[in-house]
């Protein structure tokens, strides 16, 4: 199906884009990679009268490291992150970027668009919530920085005002004794996951000093599995601790039954993904290079 007619506006700077949003009003939307918005327009679930294209604004696609923080321009494509040197040394970013849909979508879709869309099945929010992540936003009133944990407030809902955009995503690099892993279960490559799990562990010898576990696709927003992290924190990570964490994951989740599977199936899947992600995160925290890919049905 074709989208409803709309007016196309090409922004030449981010500040101009926010001014256009103010001027054009609520019926205007930003266009980044178009990999969420255009399909929704074609299905006529989204019917903006105006599109403000960010793709011709220079200096919006970059990956920089500064004082232990990795900064991504909002229009940095998933594939640029997948193939970056940073992702080589920060493997949970690679796990995420390389597993998003297929190469065509990764070449167009952007990290800023993904976080702004706040799709409950999107990968970036789940992964970046295991890290210290801040979102730099810009509007005609100036800039503000919002912690990712506060940025997404509900399914497809963020704190962004209508005339505000994501300018940059800032992720603090974890300590050397910390390792992370992200795994998703998918029916095939170009679809969203059925369930996913991101785990970040800081270890000292055999003991887990700190843990963060976030689950994707099992709630309206990514779910922080605090009970599961508590089961690991301050303990030796053995079979018993992992089994307790898996039990906590099952109770932390409230998935919807849908075409991807029943609620019970997704709870079991999330627990199994957490188990595997813990194993990989532990090995990475000990300095091992471990490559993983999502699990396909
Ligand atoms: C078949 C298919 C499979 C997919 N599978 C996956 C998957 O497995 N995992 C996954 O995570 N994603 C998946 N995606 C989505 C993909 O990752 C998108 O790239 C992403 O969700 C949105 O990014 P975008 O740059 O394309 O944003 P767009 O589609 O251009 O925009 C999405 C929304 O965000 C707003 N927006 C965009 N940029 C900004 C900004 N800088 N500031 C404020 N608002 C902004 C737009 O106005 C719009 O409302 C899939 C998409 C398709 C079509």
Question: What digits encode the pLDDT tens for the residues 238-252?
Answer: 999 999 999 999 999
State whether residue 152 is helix, strand or coil: strand
| Residue 139 pLDDT class (50, 70, 90 cuts) | very high
Q: Report the pLDDT value the prediction gives residue 189, as an integer from 0 to 100.
A: 86
Residue 99 has pLDDT above 90, yes or no: yes
Per-residue pLDDT, averaged over 59-75, amounts to 97
| pLDDT tens figures, 223-279 | 999 999 999 999 999 999 999 999 999 999 889 999 999 999 999 999 999 999 999
Per-residue pLDDT, averaged over 14-36, amounts to 98
* Residue carrying the six token digits 């266009």: 31
Instruction: Report the C-alpha gap between 26 and 34 in whole angstroms.
Output: 18
| Of 50, 103, 116, best ligand 1 pocket probe by most atoms within 8 Å of the beta carbon | 116
Nearest protein Cα to ligand 1, atom 17: 109
Decide: 34 and 48 in contact? Cβ < 8 Å. Answer: no
| pLDDT tens figures, 159-179 | 999 999 999 999 999 999 999
Tokens of 63: 């990956």
Per-residue pLDDT, averaged over 124-138, amounts to 98
Residue 94 has pLDDT above 90, yes or no: yes
- pTM equals 0.97
Residue 123 vs residues 46, 56, 262: alpha-carbon distances, Å: 21, 25, 20
| Of 15, 30, 111, 195, best ligand 1 pocket probe by most atoms within 8 Å of the beta carbon | 30
Per-residue pLDDT, averaged over 150-155, amounts to 98
Q: How far is the CA of 81 from the centre of ligand 1 (A)?
A: 15
| pLDDT > 90 in the chain, percent | 96
Residue 210 vs residues 129, 133, 170, 223: alpha-carbon distances, Å: 15, 17, 21, 18
139 lines ligand 1 (CB under 6 A): no
Cite the DSSP H helix spans in the chain. 14-24, 37-42, 78-82, 85-89, 91-99, 103-108, 111-117, 123-128, 148-151, 226-232, 239-252, 263-285
Residue 5 has pLDDT above 90, yes or no: yes
32 lines ligand 1 (CB under 6 A): yes
Q: How far is the CA of 126 from the centre of ligand 1 (A)?
A: 14
Tokens of 94: 């690679």
Mean pLDDT estimate for the chain: 96
| Residue 206 pLDDT class (50, 70, 90 cuts) | confident
Per-residue pLDDT, averaged over 46-69, amounts to 98
Decide: 257 and 161 in contact? Cβ < 8 Å. Answer: no
The DSSP H or E segment spanning 296 is: strand 295-296
Q: How far is the CA of 39 from the centre of ligand 1 (A)?
A: 10
Residue 198 has pLDDT above 90, yes or no: yes
Q: Report the pLDDT value the prediction gives residue 297, as an integer from 0 to 100.
A: 85
Per-residue pLDDT, averaged over 5-25, amounts to 98
């Amino acid at each position: 199906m074709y989208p409803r007619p709309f007016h196309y506006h090409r922004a030449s700077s981010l500040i101009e884009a926010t001014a256009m949003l103010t001027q054009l009003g609520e019926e205007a939307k930003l266009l980044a990679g178009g990999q969420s918005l255009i399909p929704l327009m074609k299905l006529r679930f989204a019917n903006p009268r105006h599109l403000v294209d960010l793709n011709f604004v220079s200096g919006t696609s970059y990956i920089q490291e500064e004082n232990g923080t990795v900064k991504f321009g909002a229009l940095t494509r998933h594939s640029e992150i997948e193939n970056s040197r940073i992702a080589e040394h920060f493997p949970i970013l690679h796990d995420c970027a390389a597993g998003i849909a297929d190469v065509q979508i990764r070449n167009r879709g952007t990290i800023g668009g993904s976080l702004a869309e706040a799709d409950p099945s999107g990968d970036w929010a789940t992964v970046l919530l295991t890290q210290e992540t801040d979102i730099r936003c810009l509007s005609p009133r100036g800039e503000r920085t919002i912690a990712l944990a506060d940025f997404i407030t509900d399914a497809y809902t963020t704190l962004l005002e209508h005339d505000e955009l994501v300018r940059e995503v800032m992720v603090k690099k974890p300590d050397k004794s910390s390792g992370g892993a992200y795994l998703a279960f998918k029916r095939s490559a170009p679809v969203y996951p059925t369930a996913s799990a991101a785990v970040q562990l800081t270890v000292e010898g055999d003991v887990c000093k700190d843990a963060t576990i976030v689950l994707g696709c099992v709630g309206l927003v990514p779910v922080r599995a605090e009970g599961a992290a508590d089961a690991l924190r301050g303990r030796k990570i053995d079979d018993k601790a992992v089994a307790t964490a898996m039990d906590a994951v099952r109770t932390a989740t409230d998935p919807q039954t849908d075409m991807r599977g029943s609620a019970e199936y997704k709870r079991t899947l999330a627990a199994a993904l957490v188990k595997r992600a813990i194993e990989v995160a532990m090995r990475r925290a000990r300095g091992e290079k471990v490559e993983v890919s999502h699990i396909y049905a």
